[in-house]
Structure 1
Amino acid sequence: METDKTTDPAVPRPVRLAFRVSYLGTRFYGSQQQESSRTVEGEFIAACRRLDLFSDWRAAGFCSAGRTDRGVHACGQVIAFSTSYPDRARQALNLQLPLDVWCTASAEVADAFHPRFDARSRTYRYYYSVQVRDLQSMEAAAGIFIGEHNFSNLARVGDKNPWRKVLEARIGTEGRFTYLEVKAESFLWHQVRCMATALLSVGAGELDMDGILLLLNETANRPIQPAPAEGLVLWDTDCGLLWEPVEKSDCSGTYCAELRRHHTLMKQICQVIRPEQP
């Protein structure tokens, strides 16, 4: 007869762990579990089960800091669960996870810890895939978003409270990319992507700072459309934790390097097949 692990005295008392998680969202149908689609949470739970960290994700209190849409990436998602085998989790999870999702750090947390409700703030970056003309105007316009505002024209609100408090908003550059970085206590669905669209319009000279103010204070005739999902990265989730680095698998690094090589090759092929017009 199989022993019930919850009452077996040989099984240590469960420990609650939080993991900082990165993933490439391209091949995921979002982060949240779905019965028939590949998701970050689904792959994470499957890896935990293979390692026998838990059998029932609900009993283990498995949860994440928030959901990301299909195609959205992360380097600062937080996932938590309870297990009687914390050392095994820290040492082996990256060996069981697929190549496009990996843990970068862990922390032992209180039994009641929930990354969504205990998060102090979240930071997103949106990387633009097009060349930006006027960075100074975009930077000035980004500052307008700081503070508490009604984002009805810049998000999919539904039945949520449209008011959100933005703590920081800035425009930065990294290599050949321009990005919008936004930090807030919480976000509405598509909020950052709509903000990215509005600021890109400022950079293109199609919208000015008064236009941003109108979007925050008046009802728009046509809501702003969100920018494409593939440019968005959940950059950080601040839960006030002291993180300890997790040993990384070389496999995910090799996978990312191969993706870069593949995209460079495909770009070259496209230029040969369909040369850019002068």
Structure 2
Amino acid sequence: MKEKKKGRVFDISTKLQRHVAFRLAYDGEAYQGFSENVGTPGDESVERILFEGLVKCRLIEKRQTCCYSRCGRTDKGVSAFGQIIALKVRSAFPLSTPVGNLPSNPNDEVPVTTTKVNKKTGEEETKTTMVKECDYIKMLNAVLPPELRVISWVPVTEEFSARFSCKSRTYRYFFPRRNLDLGAMRAGLAKIVGDHDFRNMAKMDTEHVSNFRRLIFSAEIIETMGGQGGAREGCYFQIKGQAFLWHMVRNIVKVMFFIGEGKEEPAIVDELFDVENLPGKPNYQMASDLPLVLHRCDFNSLDMLSSASNLWDVQCHLEKRWDRFKIKCLQIENGIDSISAECSVDGSSVSAWAVRKFGLSSPLSVAGLGVVPWGRALEALGRAGVTPGPHPKPPEHAKLMGRGKGLTYEEKVGQMQGKKKESSTG
């Protein structure tokens, strides 16, 4: 039996490498966050999957030697459509090709002249061929899972850093309108624009961060993002800033929801910014991770390109995913409409139930009408200020300024130093 031939060892030092930036999109629900926990078994991060693809395509040898940088570290469940990374990858051009001759457009072919010695004659022979750069997007998307796509790329200078060269980051947080007071939320949101200390609307990473001031360029709420209008109308926050603290956007969103639900006034934002009077963050849970998207990262003169073929493939891929989730939404909407039209209740019974459950001061208008469609009962409930939603019985709200407070920055630093001292003497 013949032995199987061993594959050639890939030595990237024999290949021309170029520093490029990639734009990524990923569905955060499928991953345990963007950052790889190197060496951790079962790590389900975007980076681990991405580097497996890069190595499989022989674009790099390993993470540690490719000059890798990333723009943002999104948490578990958080998605992205504009995440930027930069690294050195293998090029299709010969090692001897001058950097100035490399094309920046993925569609460009450039002439490359190579010289070889004819083994028979011993004479040098030159040959000019048209060479096109590796189709990085097609190569990677062929091996990456459907929840992770490479959208575009561009060559960058040796000094470029996806993290430190970034001028601004834009996040979007999607939510249904329901009964939220968008006017009050906009008033509160306007207060975060500018340079503020966000320690009371973030998680303090005292091991790496000592300055909690951040500059927010703009913050707004966009309405009518599809949907049927009314309570289930789609909306999103759009917050653009120079940089963000850990969990900062999700904490801001939670405070805005408190305002929109009438549980806090817009002025609560000013009180949270007053770190002299409030050095410890009030205890409250941040907003959910799944609706948050790293929408865009901006740099000076970074025009990322893709081919029409690759963008077509990505577009079709996203359209297919959109169809799948839209169909599910339509099925649920159909169920809601069917219940309203085809199910009935006794008007007096539903009125008595509503008075007990919601503490209404007077019976519903359907009381005494006998059997009525559930949709008519919902209309009567709506006139009484009660509408169904994802949280049937919201918890009672304790005002933020009256809640228990977390540790101050100084207390956290002292606690951290104490732990380090214990470990060094233990």
Aligned: 1:255 with 2:321? yes
Normalised by the size of structure 1, how large is the TM-score? 0.88
5+ unaligned residues in a row in structure 2: which ranges? 1-5, 92-132, 227-232, 344-373, 379-426
Aligned to 1:164: 214
Deviation of 1:130 after TM superposition, in Å, equals 5.2
- Asked if the contact 1:156–1:190 (Cα under 8 Å) also holds between the matched residues in 2, the reply is yes
Q: Name the TM-score, length of structure 2 as normaliser.
A: 0.59
Larger radius of gyration: 2
Task: Give runs of aligned pairs for residues 227-246 of structure 1, distance below 5 A.
Answer: 227-240=287-300, 241-246=302-307
- The sequence identity of aligned pairs, in percent, is 24
Give the letter aligned to residue 73 of structure 1.
S
Alpha-carbon distance, 1:6 to partner? 4.3
Counterpart amino acid of 1:162?
F
Is it true that 1:29 corresponds to 2:32 in the alignment? yes
Name the CA shift for 1:221/1:185 in 2 (closer, same or farther; >3 Å). closer
Partner of residue 20, structure 1: 23
Cα separation, 1, equivalents of 2:329 and 2:36 = 29
- AA partner of residue 257 (structure 1): D
Q: Name the stretch that deviates more: 20-29 or 59-68.
A: 59-68
Residue 251 of structure 1: how far off its partner (Å)? 4.0
Which one of the candidate residues 265, 268, 274 is aligned to 1:211? 268
Measured at CA, do residues 239 and 221 of structure 1 come closer, stay the same or move farther in structure 2, by a change above 3 Å?
closer
| Equivalence for 2:60 | 54
Secondary structure of 1:110 counterpart: coil
Q: How does 1:33-182 map to 2 (within 5 A)?
A: 33-34=36-37, 35=40, 36-85=42-91, 87-129=134-176, 131-159=178-206, 160=209, 161-173=211-223, 174-175=225-226, 176-182=233-239
Q: Distance in 1 between matches of 2:27 and 2:324?
A: 13
- Please report the RMSD computed on the Cα atoms of aligned residues, expressed in angstroms: 2.5
Indicate conservation of the 8 Å contact 1:154/1:224, yes or no.
no
- TM-superposed CA distance for 1:172, in Å, is 1.2
| SS of residue in 2 equivalent to 1:74 | strand
Query: Which piece of structure 1 moves more, 124-133 or 210-219?
Result: 124-133
Counterpart of 1:67, as a letter, is R
Greater RCO, 1 or 2 (C-alpha within 8 Å, sep 6+): 1
> Which amino acid in 2 is paired with 1:108?
P
- Name the SS of the counterpart of 2:267 in structure 1: helix
- Counterpart of 1:254, as a letter, is K
Per the alignment, do residues 71 and 129 of structure 1 end up closer, same or farther by CA in structure 2, a change over 3 Å counting? farther
Offset at residue 257 of structure 1 (A):
2.7
Cα distance change of structure 1 residues 190 and 4 upon mapping to structure 2, 3 Å threshold: closer
Q: Indicate how the Cα distance of structure 1 residues 46 and 263 shifts in structure 2: closer, same or farther if over 3 A, else same.
A: farther
Distance 1:128 1:255, change over 3 A: closer
Aligned with 1:245: secondary structure? coil
Post-superposition Cα deviations, 1:126-169, rounded to whole Å, max 9, x if no partner, equal 11245243212211221110111111211001312221111111
